Amino acid sequence: MNYINILNKKLVTVLILIFIITSVIPSIDARIKESENNCNYSTSQKLNLISDGNTLDIQFIYNITANLSNIIFDVYDEENGEIAKGRAFGTKGEHRAAEILYENMTKLGLYTVKEQIKNTDKCPDLTHELEINEYFVKINNKKIDSYIAPVWVETSENNFNLNHTYSYSNLKIIEPPLLPRLFIQGQKIINKLEPFVLIVKDKAFYPFSPLKKLPFTDNFIFDYYIIRQLQGGIPVLYSWLWDKYLDYCKGLVLYDFNKDVHDMNLLKKFNHIPFIYINGSDGAKILNNIEDTRIDFELKQHMNTSIVSYNVIGQLNGTNQNKIVIVDCLYDSWWCQGTADSAIGMAMVLAVAKYFKENNITPRYTIKFIGFGGEEHGFCAGAKYYESSHIDENISYVLDLNQIGFKQDNPKLTLNVIGNRLDFLFDIYKSIKKADYNNRVNSSDGIQLLWLKNGGPGNAMIFAKSRSDCKTVCFLKDGGWKMHHRDGLNHTEGDVLKYFDWTDVNVTGEIVLSIAKYLTLDTSLNTQKREIKTI
């Protein structure tokens, strides 16, 4: 298998995509101009959608969020060597989360099912995952906090078999030389060539990129689809450069730009060597004494083609059951508490259902409150399975909650409301505007509405791309979130519960509830032409 040529083709494809995206940014990133004159509703009822009492149960949201976040502490026996994998795809943690969702949906009085994710003709590998069975990292014979990304490429180092154990001891650590070939030849000449690992700073999701200072780059599209991909692609570049020298280069150490946490970036099907993620503090110690530092690590990986995971669905029937409105969130996570990504969003989905049930609301259309499994590690496996296996359903709207209700001080983050249809963004703008998010949530840098033809990243995109008549909206705080996919200090740092923002959850909840009610309770809105400011 000529995997080098395949990677080269992929890199060329990525560069072409970046060029295309850069070229069309002005046409795909639109913001709704704040003008009361541009958004008039036809009924007084809709003017009062957000009013006193029209709020979600925030304590309920916090309790569910805490239950999901604490799974990493509750279900794993780390003292006896079990790896605490949080709510990762197909793990006991994800299964426990599915039980929590099922129990709560049932208590609320919804018709609830756990639907197992299976392979489909359209998506034949949804149940495939390269699992880590055992791993450790030691610096100077001392075990440290870490994560190792498994190797998805068949190489001579793994005997062209993904089921492989990488195990090395007493490896030298070096900073990457400019030209790998000259380095290898030079080390051979002076008889100092020995197996080693590279070490570089991991800047995935680094919020202070100099590229952000360029004109017209202060927007979600450039940040998410260009800067983020370039930062995340740095390890892949090193993997490609050193591919010819796997007999000597045994891994790539990525130390975080944060002090107490490490990243868990999963670069599927790109890395030719193990990517070893460590805390920023451990990285600094290595660099301060790199000549006298040695690393031992082990990674035992196995391809599992029969992962068991579930979508949890709670249904509230409407008077017209020919249309479906989905209110959803992912409920899986990385090997961390996964509070913001996305226990908060999942809890808010349940809170919307709770509001409808406790207020005896019978919606016009059937609402499905869904917790999708396998969004992170399975690349939206749950949403892909649902869309493929429910092809006959008339899914009119999808409200996708993803990474919301948390705080970060420096830099403050923006709440992006991403729709796949401009007319849909116009329709929901009044509800969003009336919540006054910008003035009420001091921990955020405001709210912005964006149009992306294929919907927001995550579950919404699956429906937007597959169903031309489906209108989707995704709620997402991103663009420089420093704790994205991160874990550390016995799972107490990174994406953790302490960043739960009560005010943000309250106001965002008002917006989500308002839109859910508008979509399912009233059809009298007369959409008017509004002014769009294009970046």
Q: Are strands 249-256 and 275-278 parallel, antiparallel or unpaired?
A: parallel
Same domain, 259 and 386: no
Q: What is the pLDDT of residues 379-414, one digit of tens each?
A: 899 999 999 999 999 999 999 999 999 999 999 999
Question: For 158-162, 208-212, 430-434, which range has the lowest pLDDT when averaged over its residues?
Answer: 208-212
Q: What is the rounded average pLDDT of the residues 237-265?
A: 94
* Locus of tokens 């072409």: 16
Q: Total structural domains in the chain?
A: 2
Strands (E), 163-293: 164-174, 196-202, 249-256, 262-263, 275-278
Q: What confidence tier does 350 reach under pLDDT thresholds 50, 70, 90?
A: very high
Q: Mind listing the pLDDT tens digit for each residue in 87-97?
A: 999 999 999 99
On whether both 78 and 93 belong to a single domain, the answer is yes
CATH code of the domain covering residue 278: 3.50.30.30
Same domain for 92 and 161: no
How far is Cα of residue 103 from the mean position of the Cα atoms in its chain?
Answer: 25
Per-residue pLDDT, averaged over 520-532, amounts to 47
**Residue 21 above 60 pLDDT?**
no
Contact between 483 and 495 (Cβ < 8 Å): yes
The number of residues making up the chain comes to 535
Statement: residue 31 has pLDDT above 80? no
Mean pLDDT of 172-186: 93
Q: Do 230 and 200 share a structural domain?
A: yes
Q: 365-372 and 310-316 as β-strands: parallel, antiparallel, unpaired?
A: antiparallel
Residue 9 clears pLDDT 70, i.e. is over it: no
Q: What domain range includes position 434?
A: 30-126+306-534
Cβ 533 vs Cβ 34: under 8 Å: no
Distance CA 511, CA 505 (A): 10
Q: State the average pLDDT over residues 133-156.
A: 96
Query: Average pLDDT for residues 191-200, to the nearest whole number?
Result: 94
The tokens 């919804």 sit on which residue?
110
Contacts of 258 (CB under 8 A, 6+ apart): 279, 280, 482, 483, 486, 488
Residue 522 pLDDT level (bands cut at 50, 70, 90):
low
Give 343's contacts (C-beta < 8 A, 6+ positions apart).
Answer: 64, 65, 68, 69, 331, 333, 337
- Whether 121 and 148 map to the same domain: the answer is no
Taking alpha carbons only, the member of 331, 442, 463 closest to residue 388 is 463
Model pTM?
0.88
Least confident range of 197-201, 295-299, 320-324: 320-324
Asked if residue 267 and residue 119 are part of one domain, the reply reads: no
85: confidence class by pLDDT, cuts 50, 70, 90: very high
List, as one string, the DSSP characters of 291-342.
GG-EEEEEEEEEEES----EEEEEEE--SEEEEEEEEEEE---SSS--IIII
* Bridge partners for 488 per DSSP: 493
What is the average per-residue pLDDT within 216-237? 85
Tell whether the model's pLDDT for residue 526 goes beyond 70. no
Residues 92, 137: one domain? no
For residue 4, pLDDT beyond 60: no
DSSP count for the chain of H helices, then E strands:
15, 21
Residues 167 and 150 in one domain: yes
What contacts 391, CB < 8 A, 6 or more positions away? none
Residue 74 falls inside a structural domain? yes
Model confidence at 424: pLDDT above 70:
yes
pLDDT for the residue numbered 232: 84
404: nearest Cα among 340, 346, 473: 340
Mean pLDDT of the chain: 88
4: in domain: no
Residue 3 maps to a domain: no
